[in-house]
Amino acid sequence: MNYETVIGLEVHVELKTEAKVFCGCAARFGAEPNTHVCPGCLGMPGALPVLNKRAVEYCIKAGLALNCRIAPFSRFDRKQYFYPDLPHAYQISQDDLPLCAGGGLKIVNPAGEERLVRINRIHLEEEAGRTYHSGTGTAGYSLLDFNRSGLPLIEIVTEPDLRSPEEARIFLEKLQEILRYIEVSDCKMEEGSFRCDANISVRPAGSREFGRRMEIKNLNSFKAIQAALAYEENRLGSLLAAGTPPEQEESRGWDETRGMTFFMRPKEKATDYRYFPDPDLPPLVIAEEWVEAIRAGLPELPEEKKNRYVKEYGLPVQDADLLGSFRETAEFFEATLRCYSGEPKTVANWVMGDFARLLNLEKLTPAQSKLKPEALAAMLQMIDDGQISGKIAKTVFEEMFYSGKSPREIVAEKGLAQISDENQLTAVVREILAKHPGPVADYRAGKTKALGFLVGQVMKETKGQANPGLVNKLLREELDK
Amino acid sequence: MNLEKEKVKHLAELARLELGEEEAAEFSRQLSEVLAYAGKVREAPVAGMEPVIHLLSLANVFREDEVEPSLPREEALANAPHREEGFFRVPRILEEN
C-alpha cells in the first residue's frame, strides 16, 4: 500500500530588537549569565510589563512578508506551566487573538512542483530563560541563566500542508531567507534564534483522515529536521504496514548520535495551559496606517528579486539564485549596477567570483567590507575603456578590497595603467620579434599558433599592462610585412 | 455552579498541589459555593451590549526599543538560596516542558 506523509511545523524565531519585549534589558546573545536581567524578566513581584513597540512592528513585518492578515485587534494571554526557566510560572503569549493570521508561502518541491504552504498564525510572545544541566544522578542539578528570559519571540504555525521531509526543509530554508531579508531576526539555528518543532503523521494514500500525530521537539539544524522526519516517516509507515498503527499521539525527541527519534511523553497528557488575558497588558489596536507604513518599508523579497534578475538583467537562474539569496549581496550587486552602464552579467561575475572569494576568506559580509559598489563600477568602466586589462583588474580589485582605495588611485600609485600607446608597443613588438626568430619563422610558415606565444612574450615584457587587442594587431602587422 | 471533585484534583495537579481525598471533597464543596456566588454576574442583563474583551480601557501602551540598565548581577542573585558561578542553581530537572 502507498502511504502519504503529512507534516506541519511550529517555528520559533527570536526577533532582533535592541531591548527585550517587556522590559529594557539588552536582548543580546552570549553575555555573562544573569547580567541582562531586571525585576521584570526575573518575574519579581510588582514589576509590570511594558510592550516594546519594535517587537510588534517586526511581528507585523514578518506577517506581511508571509502574506498574513494583520489583526486590527489583538491581545496577550498568560500561558501557565511550571518550569524553572520560566520565572513568572506563566509565559506571556497570545492565544485566541494572535497578531497575524492566515497567509502562506509557496515552495518548489524536489519534484519541481509548486506547493503552497499555508500559515495558520503568527503570534508574539516572550522567550524563557536557559537551563543548563550539570552533574549526574542524585548529585545532578540545573543552572539557570535569565539573560534570554523576555527576549521577543514569534511563533509561526503552518497548516499540515507539507508532504515530505524534504519539503519541510525547503520550506524552512525559504522562511529563514525571508526573515533575514526583512531583517527581523538573525535566524541562527546554532544560537537558537530559529528553532522548529515538527508534527508528522502518516496515512494510507488517498485517505482523508489524518493518522496519529507525533510531535518532534527541539530540532536545531536543517539536517536534523530532515533526518528526524525521514526516520519518523519510516517508523510510522512500518507500523501502518504491520497493521499496528501507533496507539497514542506522542512527543518525541531526536537523538542526533544514534540517528533516531525517541519517546518522551504521551500527547494525551498535553498540558492544559489555562490561558487567560494578561491583566497587566492593554490590548493592541493596530491601525491600518501603521500596517501600510510597515508594508511600504518592506524590501523586495528574495523570490521577486531572483525573478527580476533573470527577466530584467538576463542573468542565468543560478546567478540570480546566488546573488538574490542574501540581502547584502543583492544590494551590493544592484548598487554597483546603478553606477555602471555595462553588462549586468559582468558585475555578477565579479560579485560571485573575486568578491565572494575574498569575503569568504576574510569572513566578512558585503556591507562590512571596505570595497564600495561605486569603486567596483569605476573599475569595470576602466576595463571597458581599455585603461586596464582584465588581468591587471584582478590585482586592482584585491587592492581595492583590502585598502578601500579607488581603482584610479591604485592604478596611478602602482603604475598599472594599460599601455595603449602604439609607438611604445610597436617598439616592444619589434624587440620580441627580433629575440624569437624561431616562432616568427613558424608563423610565417603558416603555423598561426605561434602568434599566441609572441603575444604572451609581449604581455610578459610589459608586466601584463599592454592592451592585448592592440598587441595582437601590431604583431600581425609586423609579421605580415 | 458545581466544581466536581475530579476537576478539583485535575486543577490541583496542574498547580502542583497535593490534595488528599477529603481535601479534594472539601475544596469541591467550597469552590462550588464561591463559583455560585460569582455566578450571580451571569444574571446581569447584557443583551445588546458589546462583549468586554479586555478590562483596561487603554490600548497600545508601548515602550521604545531602547536598552536600559539591568540589575547588577549581585543584586539579581541576592535572594537566590543557591547559586553557582553567576547562575541560579536549582534541583535537577528531568523532563523538558
> What is the distance in angstroms between the Cα of A226 and the nearest Cα belonging to chain B?
22
Q: Which of A131, A144, A282 sits opposite B60 (nearest CB)?
A: A282
Q: Which of B14, B73, B89 sits opposite A143 (nearest CB)?
A: B89
For residue A86, the chain B residues in CB contact (below 8 A) are 97
- How far, in Å, CA of A454 to CA of A471, rounded? 9
Q: Give the model's pLDDT for residue A16.
A: 96
Residue corresponding to grid cell 534541583: B91
The CATH architecture that domain B5-43 belongs to is Orthogonal Bundle (1.10)
CB contact under 8 A, A24 and B68: yes
What DSSP designation does A331 have? Answer: H
The number of helix segments (H) and strand segments (E) in chain B equals 3, 3
Give yes or no for A51 touching B (CB within 8 A): yes
Measured CA angle at A87 (ends A85, A90), to 5 deg: 100
Give yes or no for B67 touching A (CB within 8 A): yes
Q: Give the model's pLDDT for residue A136.
A: 73
> What is the distance in angstroms between the Cα of B13 and the nearest Cα belonging to chain A?
10
- How far, in Å, CA of A212 to CA of A210, rounded? 7
Spatial contact of B3 and B28, defined as CB atoms under 8 Å apart: yes
Give yes or no for A47 touching B (CB within 8 A): no
- How far, in Å, CA of A393 to CA of A383, rounded? 7
Give yes or no for A96 touching B (CB within 8 A): no
Which chain B residue lies closest to A57 (C-alpha atoms)? B65
Segments of chain A scoring below 50 in pLDDT? none
* pLDDT tens per residue across span A112-150: 999 999 999 999 999 999 999 887 777 789 999 999 999
Q: Give the model's pLDDT for residue A468.
A: 82
> What is the distance in angstroms between the Cα of A284 and the nearest Cα belonging to chain B?
5
Segments making up each domain of chain B, as ranges: 5-43
Give yes or no for A217 touching B (CB within 8 A): yes
Residue A59 grid coordinates: 511581528
CB contact under 8 A, B67 and A282: no
Q: Give the model's pLDDT for residue A195.
A: 94
Residue B52: C-alpha distances to residues A70, A172, B43, B57 (Å): 21, 39, 16, 10
Give yes or no for A82 touching B (CB within 8 A): yes
Burial A126-138 (b: 16+ CB within 10 A, else e): bbbbbbeeeeeee
Q: Give the model's pLDDT for residue A324.
A: 92
Query: In sequence order, what E strands does A81-168 have?
Result: 90-93, 100-101, 104-108, 114-126, 130-134, 141-145, 152-158
Q: Which of B62, B77, B92 sits opposite A142 (nearest CB)?
A: B92
CATH fold for domain A422-479: Arc Repressor Mutant, subunit A (1.10.10)
CB atoms within 10 A of CB B31: 16
Segments of chain B scoring below 50 in pLDDT? 96-97
CB contact under 8 A, A285 and B95: no
Q: Which of B63, B90, B91 sits opposite A24 (nearest CB)?
A: B63
Give yes or no for B78 touching A (CB within 8 A): no
C-alpha dihedral, A168 to A170 to A171 to A172, nearest 10°: 90
Measured CA angle at A357 (ends A355, A359), to 5 deg: 70
The helix or strand, by DSSP H or E, that contains position A201, with its residue range, turns out to be: strand A194-204
Residue corresponding to grid cell 559582468: A346
Give yes or no for A130 touching B (CB within 8 A): no
Give yes or no for B65 touching A (CB within 8 A): yes
- How far, in Å, CA of B31 to CA of B22, rounded? 14
CB contact under 8 A, A32 and B89: no
Q: Which of B59, B71, B96 sits opposite A283 (nearest CB)?
A: B59
Q: Which of A18, A53, A271 sits opposite B67 (nearest CB)?
A: A18
Q: Give the model's pLDDT for residue B97.
A: 37
For residue B90, the chain A residues in CB contact (below 8 A) are 84, 141-144
Give yes or no for A280 touching B (CB within 8 A): no
Segments making up each domain of chain A, as ranges: 3-289, 300-414, 422-479
> What is the distance in angstroms between the Cα of B68 and the nearest Cα belonging to chain A?
5
Q: Give the model's pLDDT for residue A268.
A: 60
Q: Give the model's pLDDT for residue A270.
A: 55
Give yes or no for A132 touching B (CB within 8 A): yes
Q: Which of A19, A42, A84 sits opposite B93 (nearest CB)?
A: A84
For residue A281, the chain B residues in CB contact (below 8 A) are 61
Using CB atoms within 10 Å of the CB of residue A354, give its burial: 0 to 12 exposed, 13 to 18 middle, 19+ buried.
Answer: middle
